[in-house]
Amino acid sequence: MENTQLIEARTSHTSGLLTGKVAFVTGAGRGIGAAAARLFAREGARVVLAARTEAQLKAVTEEIRAAGGTADYVVCDLADTGSVRAAVDRTVQLYGRLDVAFNNGATLQRPGPMDALPEADFDEVYTVNLKGVWLAMVAEVAAIRATAGTGAIVNNSSVGSLRGNPELPAYGAMKRAVNSLTESAAVTYGPEGIRVNAIAPGNTLTEMIRAWEAESPGLQERLTAVTPLRRAAVPEEIAQAAAWLLSDRSSFVTGTVLRVDGGARA
């Protein structure tokens, strides 16, 4: 009887996907992260935006507030352990709890074969795209456990993690490792009621992919040709998938890497 009541409570929806939840979003100053912060606020969450560039964070935060949402921001460098922990702690200080987190922040490598990538560049991609996600998850699990008790985390991966990636080998490798961290965290923290999933976006119109295209002319045409929907995604389409996975409507989903790629890996 108790299980039935719990399921009914989780699947009875009269408001936004994230109403009543406190959400933490990294890489929130632009692209998918900014779209997610706006969407999460529209879906009822109180949102803390984190990224390195304060001007971008301030602009998105003010936009959310002007639209009637609740948001604040904290400058955060995913390559810095103390900065990541302080950002999550600041979320709890501001709103008293943490329910959900979207680990979206990442950096791109210069496109090219692995033997042409400088070691310093490899180290940066590792530090931000893998270690930064690990640091964030560790801090988020601790915050959820100490406040909300249960919650959900979504990591932003990439379809480039799902097979060989000759143009972005280090980026793809780190994102594949994020998939593994996601699955391990799901198994580890599921018994506590903390769900952990990842999304794997395909071609999405962000500053990051435009930077890639600047180094690889014709990229959009090539990516569109292998996408059955024959177009790129806009950032909000990716954010919608993250919002669903963070919401109670996906209450029996954990340990999955959800492709959001227009069918490119079908």
Q: Which residues are catalytic?
A: 171
The separation between CA 150 and the C-alpha centre of its own chain, rounded to angstroms, equals 18
Picking from 21, 23, 10, the residue whose alpha carbon sits closest to that of residue 140 is: 23
Determine the Cα–Cα distance for residues 48 and 142; give it in Å rounded to an integer.
Answer: 17
- Tell me if 241 sits within 8 A of 258, measured CB to CB: yes
12 residue type, one letter: S
User: Residues 241, 263, 210, 76: what is their CA dihedral angle, to the nearest 10 degrees?
Assistant: 30
Phi then psi for residue 236, to 5 deg, are -65, -30
Q: Which two tokens stand for residue 78?
A: 């995913």
Using DSSP bridges, classify how beta strands 46-51 and 22-26 pair: parallel, antiparallel or unpaired.
parallel
Residues 7, 25: contact at Cβ < 8 Å?
no
| Longest distance between any two alpha carbons in the chain, whole Å | 61
Helix, strand, coil shares of the chain, percent, nearest 5, are 50, 15, 30
Closest among 176, 239, 172, 177 to 205, alpha carbons compared: 239
The encoded tokens of residue 238 equal 């990716």
